[in-house]
């Protein structure tokens, strides 16, 4: 069974940093692009970033470019999102997702709250 489990969310002050993790199981992790998508509770989905199966290529939404860094460790079947210079508008549930084109599978999400 494919599983994506996010962790690392929590409360952080504006300007602070947080690192999210996504642990994958049930499939060959190194064969898939992986994504982060976020959602403010009660609002729509916003694509954040993606990383190539070998980690050789990354893309970001303009709203996070220069502040967030996506990475992966294929040996550990884990993807990360390093979030720096956090702002109130980064408050959201962050979903880890798998997909070489469309997103096939989603995690349950982890909540990040940026507030003083």
Partner 1 sequence: DIVMTQSPDSLAVSLGERATINCKSSQSVLYSSNDKNYLAWYQQKPGQPPKLLIYWASTRASGVPDRFSGSGSGTDFTLTITSLQAEDVAVYYCQQYYDPPHTFGQGTNVEIK
- Token pair belonging to 62: 């303009």
| Cα atoms in the 13 Å half-sphere on the side-chain side of 61 | 12
C-alpha 64/C-alpha 43 separation (Å) is 18
Q: Check binding of 111 to partner 1 (CB under 8 A).
A: no
Candidates 59, 77, 111, 113; binder of partner 1 (CB under 8 A) is 59
Residue 54 vs residues 28, 29, 115: alpha-carbon distances, Å: 12, 10, 35
* Closest separation in Å from C-beta 12 to partner 1: 22
Applying CB under 8 A, does 36 fall inside the site for partner 1?
no
Min separation Cβ 57 and partner 1, Å: 10
Interface with partner 1, residue 107, by CB under 8 A = yes
Residue from the set 18, 20, 22, 35 that interacts with partner 1 by CB under 8 A:
35
């Amino acid at each position: 069974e494919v599983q994506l489990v996010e962790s690392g969310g929590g409360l952080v002050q504006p300007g602070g940093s947080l690192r999210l993790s996504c642990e994958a199981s049930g499939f060959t992790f190194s064969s898939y692009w992986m994504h982060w998508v976020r959602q403010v509770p009660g609002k729509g989905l916003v694509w954040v970033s993606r990383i190539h199966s070998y980690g050789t290529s990354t893309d970001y939404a303009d709203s996070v470019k220069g502040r967030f860094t996506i990475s992966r460790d294929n040996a550990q079947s884990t993807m990360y999102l390093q979030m720096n210079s956090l702002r109130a508008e980064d408050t959201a549930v962050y979903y880890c997702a798998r997909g070489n084109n469309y997103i096939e599978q989603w995690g349950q999400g982890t909540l990040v709250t940026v507030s003083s």
